[in-house]
Chain A
Amino acid sequence: MARVSPELLARCLDDLRSGQTTLDAVLASHPEVQQELRALLEAPLAIPRGPIAPAPSAAFRQRARAELLTRLAETPQPWWQRFFDSLAVPTPRFGLALPLLLAVLLGLGGFGGAAYAAQDTLPGDLLYPLKTGLETAQVAMIFSESGRVEEYLAQAAERLEELTLAQERGRVNALTGLSRAYANAALGFEGDDFVNLVLTFQTGEPLPALLERLKTVERASGREPGAPRWASRTLDLDLLMYGDLVGQFAGVTLPRPDIVERSYVLGPLAELAPGRRHPALGETFAALWQRFDRDSHPLVEVSLEGED
């Protein structure tokens, strides 16, 4: 016996909604299930069109808006606070509780002298004296054996400290992961190879402030503010993800599209957070890395033999 399937019902509803056909025409084209189809289609057709309920009163509109604005102003705005508050909202689709994981891509430009010069130009006051976090970072950098790369990465670690310290003491943003370092040939311009690594940390900083901080650190590392986009530079910091945000925020696309396009981003990320899901694609980084075409984008771990 023929039955009306959910798909057939959905198709008929779409046809009716488009206004291209009538109930009688729809029923006539499915004679084998006409009776059942009629019963099902009559139900939504019985729902009246037009405004379904009264509009909010003008008094409520004004009072509620003022009240809402007051309460918005009262609500403290560190984003993690809102994130945790939001866990109380039972919204299944949007409701995955995730760690405050955040990844920054560090492209450390050049093994050559220019990079080291940048170390000298770094203002001393940018280096926070707090060492405990730095130690943690160094522990994570087990690949640093000897030589200039190690030195270089140590300098990077100090910059990470700047990044991962919130302005308010007492609310330290913890570095939670640091990948191994990988080299890639400079893309799209003549210059030195880059060393790339990914780190994750927790932050209490709102997104715009964090982006500003990244820029500040880049500038302090010798990149001229007005330099061409593709020019060689000593340090490049790119925010890959901020929590689970998806979309355009403060002129930045999150998660950063590079994640799935560059072996030296996806590889380290898969190493640091294999089980975490790409917020937009929904797949784990381990799975994405598994599928990645590594032959055409080889990933070369940086040799740490102290060569010049």
Chain B
Amino acid sequence: MPDVVEERQSLHQGEGDRGLQDEEREIVAAAASGDAGAFARLYDRHLDRIYRHIYYRVGNQSDAEDLTQQVFMQAWRAIGRYKQTESPFLAWLFTIAHNVVVSFYRRARSEQYLEFDVADEHRSESPEHVAESSEQQLAVRRAILRLRPEQQQVVLLRFVENLSHGEVAAALGKSETAVRVMQHRALQELRRVLGQEGVLWPA
């Protein structure tokens, strides 16, 4: 029987980076005891991932910038409550980002997750983005943003951020079983919506 080596390109970037995780743990501990410099290092590390994640969900640069700042300010205030044993720090940031985005849409009195400015895509794009924003990618994103917030979060963390079931469970505060059930429903719904968006043939 062949060995099954699961390669995960996720939060931990493989098991070889245990030293990096320990290092991060120390930085988080320093930040939790009030060390602003340590927090700034966490910021430098995770700014890109969080910004891109938020940009994907709000679709324009200025909101993405505002909300990204909010995420890090909230993380700074709440870092005493982050539990090292439960999930990677980045997963915790994704949780805060999700809450920030959800309340952003709530504030904008937008129950629809379709309100992002598609035109802005083409105005603010950087060169690497040009290659990426095909029509299909925009349609997939529209489909994802039509899901209920919780389903959106599962789909984004699993298939866009590439987290494992366990990591998503930690980030959402659910059991892995619950995450698998949510994922199942979310993918049923996503399949249906992708059919409507014309990305896939209707199932």
Which residues of A are interface residues toward B (Cβ below 8 A)?
4-7, 9-10, 13-14, 17-20, 39-40, 42-44, 46-48, 50-57, 60-61, 64-65, 67-69, 71-73, 75, 77, 79, 82-83, 85-86, 89-95, 206-208, 243-250, 279-280
Q: With A43-B191, A72-B39, A83-B80 in contact, is A10–B165 under 8 Å at CB?
A: yes
Report whether A9 and B184 are in contact in the complex, using a CB–CB cutoff of 8 Å.
yes
> Given A54-B129, A56-B68, A94-B82, A40 and B48 touching (CB < 8 A)?
no
Q: Is the CB of B196 closer than 8 A to any CB of chain A?
A: no
Cβ-based interface call for B118 (8 A): no
**In the bound complex, what is the Cα–Cα distance between A91 and B170 (angstroms)?**
12
> Shortest beta-carbon distance, B117 to chain A, in Å?
14
- Most central of A4, A47, A249, A280 by chain B CB within 10 Å: A47
Listed by A's residue number, 13 A-B pairs whose Cβ atoms lie within 8 Å are: A10-B183, A18-B7, A43-B194, A54-B128, A56-B48, A61-B47, A82-B76, A85-B78, A244-B81, A246-B86, A247-B25, A247-B28, A248-B25
Contact residue among B51, B77, B96 (Cβ-Cβ distance under 8 Å from A75): B77
Q: Please give, as numbers and ranges, the residues of chain A lying within 8 Å of B43 by CB-CB distance.
A: 65, 68
With contacts A9-B183, A54-B125, A249-B29 taken as known, whether A86 is within 8 angstroms of B78 at the C-beta atoms is: yes
List the B side residues contacting A39 at CB < 8 Å.
191, 203
B32, B55, B64, B128: the one within 8 Å of A249 (CB): B32
Hey, which chain A residues are within 8 Å of B7, CB to CB?
A: 18-19
- Residues of B within 8 Å of A77, CB to CB, are 34
12 additional contacts (CB under 8 A) given A48-B137, A54-B125, A92-B172: A6-B183, A10-B165, A10-B180, A20-B4, A46-B194, A51-B52, A57-B61, A60-B61, A65-B44, A83-B80, A86-B80, A246-B84
| A206 vs B85: C-alpha distance when bound (angstroms) | 21
Decide yes or no: A82 and B80 within 8 Å by CB, A46-B199, A47-B160, A208-B33 being known contacts. yes
In the assembled complex, the Cα of A10 lies from the Cα of B48 at a distance in Å of 28
Nearest residue in B to A79 (C-beta to C-beta)?
B80
Residue pair A44, B158 in contact (C-beta under 8 Å): yes
Task: With A7-B180, A53-B56 as known contacts, state yes or no: A91 contacts B95, CB within 8 Å.
Answer: yes
Say which residue of B26, B61, B81, B140 sits within 8 Å of A95 (CB atoms): B81
Report the minimal beta-carbon distance from B36 to chain A, rounded to whole angstroms: 4
